[in-house]
Amino acid sequence: MTRLIFLGAPGAGKGTQAQILAASCGIPHISTGDILRAQVKEQTELGIQAQAFMNKGELVPDALILDMIRVRLSQDDAIKAGWILDGFPRNVAQAEFLDRLLTEIGQNYNLAIDLGVPQDRLVARLLERAKIQNRPDDTEDVIRRRLVVYDEQTAPLLDYYQRKDVLRSVDGDRELAEVTHHLEALVN
Ligand code: AMP
């Protein structure tokens, strides 16, 4: 069964590639950012609490995220087909939680895939995206904060998964289709 963790900085193209790969593998694409944005839109209790952190480019506290992931991974489609996790885990505590949760439910992931894109390209890509999407966290200040948060809290996961020997790196600074091709070769 295919179970993948997608790593990579904001703007690396994680979401787009995860979505394409999930469709071609026929498995759920689980994006914590998408789930949170849906909650914000509906102004659920979780959405209202998460919104302030998201708008500042900070991580939403683990206390709000971990339950959400436990519930999502326990749903039928994820149990039966596998998944691609996009945007989770985002720090070492979340990665440790995921390992415990998967042990508890008798699952494991195949790979953690890092999509690498140079820092200066990330800002340019995110500013470009800001023109076509309407995300409150795509202003230049918040983009820069999200990149710092990535470096401080998420980048240590590369080491975490490297040590488990499941990390693979793909150059994300290429044409979309070329990146997809490399990802498919890695997964299949
Ligand atoms: P994304 O769409 O993955 O870039 O996520 C957008 C925002 O949602 C992030 O900047 C965080 O504020 C929040 N977020 C998404 N996933 C997580 C997570 N696993 N842990 C904490 N915050 C998250």
Atom of ligand 1 nearest to the CA of 137: 10
Q: Which residues have a Cβ under 8 Å from the Cβ of 160 and sit 6 or more positions away?
A: 92, 95
Q: What is the CATH number of the domain that holds 54?
A: 3.40.50.300
129 counts as catalytic = yes
Reported as a single tens digit per residue, the pLDDT across 147-168 is 999 999 999 999 999 999 999 9
What residues line ligand 1, using a CB cutoff of 6 Å? 10, 32-33, 36, 53-54, 57-60, 65, 87-88, 90, 94, 137, 146
Q: pTM for this one? A: 0.95
Query: Which of the following is catalytic: 70, 72, 129, 144?
Result: 129
Query: Which of the following is catalytic: 3, 14, 37, 125?
Result: 14
pLDDT of residue 57: 96
14 counts as catalytic = yes
Query: What DSSP element (H or E) covers 114?
Result: strand 111-116
Q: Residue 86's domain spans which residues?
A: 2-187
121 counts as catalytic = no
Reported as a single tens digit per residue, the pLDDT across 48-69 is 999 999 999 999 999 999 999 9
Tell me the CA–centroid distance for residue 123 and ligand 1, in Å.
17
Of the chain, the percentage scoring pLDDT greater than 70 comes to 100
What are the tokens at 65? Answer: 């995220």
Give the total number of structural domains in the chain. Answer: 1
Instruction: Tell me the best of 31, 51, 90 to mutate to test the pocket of ligand 1, counting ligand atoms within 8 Å of each CB and taking the most.
Output: 90
Q: 95: number of CA atoms within 13 Å, CB side?
A: 20
Average pLDDT for residues 106-131, to the nearest whole number? 93
Query: Which of the following is catalytic: 3, 37, 90, 125?
Result: 90
Instruction: Tell me the best of 29, 36, 64, 97 to mutate to test the pocket of ligand 1, counting ligand atoms within 8 Å of each CB and taking the most.
Output: 36
Q: Which residues have a Cβ under 8 Å from the Cβ of 33 and sit 6 or more positions away?
A: 15, 86, 87
